[in-house]
Structure 1
C-alpha cells in the first residue's frame, strides 16, 4: 500500500512540475523602469568583474580604461533615463518591447 502511495505521489509531483502553461509564450509585463533597473544592476556587476579581472592581470591598462569608460557611460545613460521616468511619474507604464 505504501509503495502505491509513493508511486502516485511521484506521478503527481511530475505532473505538477512539468504541466505546460496554457500559453508558454506569455511573459510578465515589465515596465521600462524595471528593465532599466535590471540593466543598471548588470552594468554594475560588469564593472566589478572588470575591476577584478584587471587586478588579476587579464587586461592591459588601455583596454581596462576603454571598457570601464564604456560601462560608466552606459550606466550614466541608464541612470539618467531612470531619473527622467521618476520625474515624469511613469513607473507604472508597461513597455511594449
Structure 2
C-alpha cells in the first residue's frame, strides 16, 4: 500500500514539475508587427556591427556611409510601418 502511494505521489510531483504551462505544440500566430519587431532588432544590430567594424578599420569611409544610410532608411521604413500598424500611438 505504501509503495503504491509513493508511486502516485512521485508521478504527481513529476507531472507538476515538468508539465508545461502552455501547450508547446500550439504556436501563437505571428503577426506583421512581430515580424517588424524582429526585423527592427536585426537592422539595429547590423548598424551597431557596421559602426564597430568601421572603427576597427574594416570599411572605407565611403562604403561605411553608404551602408549606414541604407540601414538607417530601412530602420525608418520599419518604424514607420510599425507606427502605422499600432495606430500611431507613438506619434
In structure 1, what is the equivalent of residue 16 of structure 2?
Answer: none
For residues 63 and 28 of structure 1, what CA distance do their matches in structure 2 show? 40
Cα displacement (A) at 1:29: 2.2
Q: Where do 5+ consecutive residues of structure 2 fail to align? A: 1-24
In structure 2, what is the equivalent of residue 70 of structure 1?
Answer: 70
Moved over 2 A (4+): 26-29
Aligned-residue Cα RMSD (Å) equals: 1.9
Q: Residue 59 of structure 2 aligns to a residue in which SS?
A: coil
Q: What do the CA deviations read for 1:26-84 (whole angstroms, capped 9, x no partner)?
A: 96521000000000000000000000000000000000000000000000000000000
In structure 2, what is the equivalent of residue 87 of structure 1?
Answer: 87
For residues 88 and 49 of structure 2, what CA distance do their matches in structure 1 show? 34
Q: Where do 5+ consecutive residues of structure 1 fail to align? A: 1-22, 90-97
Cα displacement (A) at 1:88: 7.0
Number of residue-to-residue matches in the alignment: 65
Q: Residue 87 of structure 1 aligns to a residue in which SS?
A: coil
